[in-house]
């Protein structure tokens, strides 16, 4: 009998992502009523916003009717309108929980969210049971869908009505055992811009992960006319955009301005259109240059944007575009150091060559190593953190660029007193080419990303490790 008056709540199961929901059902002398799917309430309670596109109803005349076990390439939200069912789920996804079984009884006061790749089957426990399910993709008669024999002895599902007494289709009885099921791979992650500093760090962070693909520019052109058709986008879950125009000073030239807007705005807009159409998650990297640097406290994610130069303006525009997507992570960062030309390597080279540099001492922030950014990206995706903008830099004390330069000299065994601190205005006073205005403060508040369980490493510690490796490599020590 249907239980009335439950509170809407979710119960996790042994299969990751498979969640059984208690539903409020209201009854009186006329019968009962429930909100079977209420997007706003359920998302607030933790339901993934999986974007249903099709609602199907299966009417089952006899008790003992058994269907499944099928794992189609979509998410399902299942419930019953009348009657009761015994549900059995088997994880058919590649990974440590492959073959895990969960069973539960579903009546009108319960429902289940079944993620893509989890085999779903049910058996009716009452006559005239109406089984209903929402899915977020359309059925294709040409599709190849994974299935498992409901009687497979390996998973040993304890069906309430023995299958030799149940109603099954000939097709379901003919399905193979678990040993013949090819584990279902996750939807793919596409990293755009794999040749840059962050792209290389992402390759290291996802080394050995078979469902992550890497592409680089200009071969993969976000602004190309055929961009929408260069991939079977339904096979993907996420795009990580590690590509950007980052030549801050060159962006102030006529040619650079065009290139910056093309890469950081037009390309991002094309990516967003694909993501919106196919419900993809987009991870996008932003910068402290979207602020004017006048704040007297660390910048928070919701502070108003106020970029000073062309580069910051294009990045701010890209942020606004990505922010319109339902599924997005914007990682705002500063002072990035990775493989390739960077400030730390420049200081090491100057120290070795006996050059005593002048370095600006009125710009403050924290270094961010690309390994930190890559780790934060993977964490946010795998932890299913709430979508939105997150500040990600190294943690620890705030420093100036001159402080960093002195520390690099010291770590490399050189006299830090060789570094002279100067103002930004003084440093660029003799420049003959256009110079972009810099935010004097690029300090970002890390509270939000830390609340997800990701704790950035102290920037000073990361710098020590980086200089140690660089010094060994330069000395030929391996």
Look at residue 402 and tell me if it is in a domain: yes
Task: Name 9's bridge partners.
Answer: 22
For 357-398, the pLDDT digits (tens) are: 999 999 999 999 999 999 999 999 999 999 999 999 999 999
pTM over 0.85, yes/no: no
Backbone angles phi, psi at 420, to 5 degrees: -105, 125
Q: Are residues 314 and 336 in the same domain?
A: yes
Q: Quick one: DSSP state of residue 44?
A: H
Task: Name 130's bridge partners.
Answer: 59, 82
Q: What is the CATH number of the domain that holds 237?
A: 3.40.50.720
Token couple for 372 = 């930190």
Q: How does strand 19-22 pair with strand 101-106?
A: unpaired
For 278-294, the pLDDT digits (tens) are: 889 999 999 999 999 99
Rounded Cα distance between 67 and 88, Å, is 10
Q: Are residues 229 and 155 in the same domain?
A: no
Over range 342-350, report the average pLDDT.
96
Which run of H or E residues covers position 348? Answer: helix 343-352
Among 150, 180, 210, give the residue marking a domain's end: 180
Backbone angles phi, psi at 34, to 5 degrees: -150, 155
Look at residue 3 and tell me if it is in a domain: no
Q: What pLDDT is stored for residue 25 in this prediction?
A: 84
Look at residue 4 and tell me if it is in a domain: no
Over range 222-249, report the average pLDDT.
87
Give the count of beta carbons closer than 10 Å to the beta carbon of residue 224. 13
Length of the chain: 478
Q: Quick one: DSSP state of residue 299?
A: B
SS (H, E, C) 418-473: HCEEECHHHHCCCCCCCCCCCCCECCECCHHHHHCCCCCCEHHHHHHHHHHHHHHH
Q: Are residues 267 and 386 in the same domain?
A: yes
Which run of H or E residues covers position 173? Answer: helix 170-173
Give the count of beta carbons closer than 10 Å to the beta carbon of residue 391. 27
Look at residue 97 and tell me if it is in a domain: yes
Among 115, 149, 180, give the residue marking a domain's end: 180
Q: Are residues 262 and 163 in the same domain?
A: no
Look at residue 15 and tell me if it is in a domain: yes
Position 472 pLDDT exceeds 70 = yes
Q: Are residues 176 and 196 in the same domain?
A: no
Look at residue 2 and tell me if it is in a domain: no
Maximum C-alpha span of the chain = 91
Rounded Cα distance between 443 and 395, Å, is 10
Alpha-carbon distance values, 75 to 22, 143, 297 (Å): 19, 15, 43
Q: Are residues 327 and 374 in the same domain?
A: yes
Q: What pLDDT is stored for residue 39 in this prediction?
A: 84
Position 430 pLDDT exceeds 80 = yes
Q: What pLDDT is stored for residue 363 in this prediction?
A: 97
Look at residue 213 and tell me if it is in a domain: yes
Among 136, 160, 180, give the residue marking a domain's end: 180
pLDDT band at 70 (very low <50, low <70, confident <90, very high): very high
Q: What is the CATH number of the domain that holds 176?
A: 2.60.120.10
3-state DSSP assignment of residue 63: coil
Task: Name 85's bridge partners.
Answer: 106, 124
∠ CA 242-245-251, nearest 5°, is 160
Give the count of beta carbons closer than 10 Å to the beta carbon of residue 317. 19
Range of the structural domain that residue 286 is part of: 188-475
Q: How many domains does the chain have?
A: 2
Q: Are residues 140 and 195 in the same domain?
A: no
Position 204 pLDDT exceeds 60 = yes
Give the count of beta carbons closer than 10 Å to the beta carbon of residue 32. 12
Beta-carbon contacts of 367 under 8 Å, excluding residues fewer than 6 positions away, are 335, 337, 344, 393, 394, 399, 404, 459, 462, 463
376, 331 Cβ separation under 8 angstroms: yes
- The tally of CA atoms less than 13 A away on the side-chain side of residue 163 is 20
Q: Are residues 252 and 351 in the same domain?
A: yes
Catalytic residue numbers, as ranges: 70, 133
Over range 429-442, report the average pLDDT.
93
Q: Are residues 198 and 281 in the same domain?
A: yes
3-state DSSP assignment of residue 93: strand
* Direct distance between the N- and C-terminal alpha carbons of the chain, in angstroms, rounded to an integer: 71
3-state DSSP assignment of residue 333: strand
Backbone angles phi, psi at 173, to 5 degrees: -65, -25
Q: Which of 336, 453, 457, 462 is nearest to 395 (CA)?
A: 457
Q: Are residues 146 and 237 in the same domain?
A: no
369: left (phi over 0), alpha (psi -120 to 50) or beta: beta
Cis bond upstream, residue 218 (ω within 30): yes
3-state DSSP assignment of residue 301: coil
Look at residue 14 and tell me if it is in a domain: yes
Mean pLDDT of the chain: 92
DSSP 213-279: EEE-TTTS-TT-TTGGGSS-GGGEEEEEE------TTGGGSHHHHHHHHIIIIIHHHHHHHHHHHHT
Rounded Cα distance between 450 and 54, Å, is 38
Token couple for 365 = 């922030």
pLDDT band at 268 (very low <50, low <70, confident <90, very high): very high
Rounded Cα distance between 107 and 122, Å, is 12
Backbone angles phi, psi at 308, to 5 degrees: -95, -35
Q: How far is CA 118 from the centre of its chain?
A: 21
Q: Are residues 149 and 28 in the same domain?
A: yes
Q: What pLDDT is stored for residue 477 in this prediction?
A: 55
Q: Are residues 19 and 94 in the same domain?
A: yes
Over range 80-92, report the average pLDDT.
95
């Amino acid at each position: 009998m249907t239980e009335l008056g439950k509170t809407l709540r979710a119960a996790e199961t042994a299969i990751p992502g498979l969640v059984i929901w208690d539903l409020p059902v209201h009854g009186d002398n006329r019968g009962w009523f429930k909100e079977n799917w209420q997007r706003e309430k359920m998302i607030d309670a933790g339901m993934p916003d999986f974007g249903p596109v099709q609602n199907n109803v299966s009417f089952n005349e006899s008790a003992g009717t058994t269907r499944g076990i099928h794992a189609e390439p979509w998410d399902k939200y299942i419930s019953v309108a009348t009657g009761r069912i015994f549900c059995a789920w088997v994880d058919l996804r590649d990974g440590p929980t492959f073959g895990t079984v969960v069973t539960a009884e579903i009546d009108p006061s319960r429902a289940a969210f079944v993620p893509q790749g989890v085999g779903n089957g049910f058996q009716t426990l009452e006559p005239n049971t109406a089984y209903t399910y929402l899915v977020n993709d359309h059925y294709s008669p040409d599709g190849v869908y994974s299935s498992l024999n409901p009687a497979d002895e390996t998973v040993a599902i304890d069906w309430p009505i023995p299958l030799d007494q149940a109603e099954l289709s000939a097709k379901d009885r003919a399905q193979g055992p678990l040993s013949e099921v090819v584990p279902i791979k996750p939807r793919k992650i596409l990293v755009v811009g794999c040749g840059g500093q962050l792209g290389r760090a992402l390759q290291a962070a996802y080394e050995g992960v078979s469902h992550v693909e890497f592409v680089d520019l200009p071969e993969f052109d976000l602004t190309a006319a055929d961009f929408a058709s260069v991939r079977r986008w339904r096979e993907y879950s996420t795009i990580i955009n590690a590509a950007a125009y980052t030549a801050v000073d060159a962006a102030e030239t006529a040619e650079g301005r065009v290139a910056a807007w093309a890469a950081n705005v037009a390309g991002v807009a094309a990516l967003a259109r694909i993501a919106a159409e196919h419900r993809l998650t987009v991870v996008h990297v932003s910068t402290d240059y979207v602020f004017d640097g006048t704040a007297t406290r660390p910048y928070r994610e919701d502070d108003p944007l106020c970029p000073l130069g062309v580069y910051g303006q294009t990045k701010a525009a890209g942020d606004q575009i990505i922010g319109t997507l339902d599924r997005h992570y914007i990682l705002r960062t500063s002072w990035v150091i990775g493989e390739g030309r960077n400030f730390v390597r420049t200081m090491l080279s100057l120290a070795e060559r006996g050059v005593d540099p002048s370095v600006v001492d009125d710009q403050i922030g924290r270094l961010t190593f690309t390994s930190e950014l890559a780790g934060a990206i993977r964490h946010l995706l795998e932890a299913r953190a709430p979508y939105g903008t997150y500040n990600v830099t190294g943690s620890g004390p705030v420093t100036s660029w001159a402080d960093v330069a002195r520390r690099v000299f010291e770590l490399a065994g050189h006299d830090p007193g060789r570094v002279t601190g100067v103002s930004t205005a003084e440093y660029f006073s003799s420049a003959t080419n256009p110079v972009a205005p810099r935010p004097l403060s690029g300090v970002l508040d890390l509270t939000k990303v830390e609340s997800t369980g990701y704790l950035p490493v102290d920037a000073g510690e990361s710098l020590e490790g980086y200089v140690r490796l660089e010094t060994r490599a330069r000395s030929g020590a391996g």
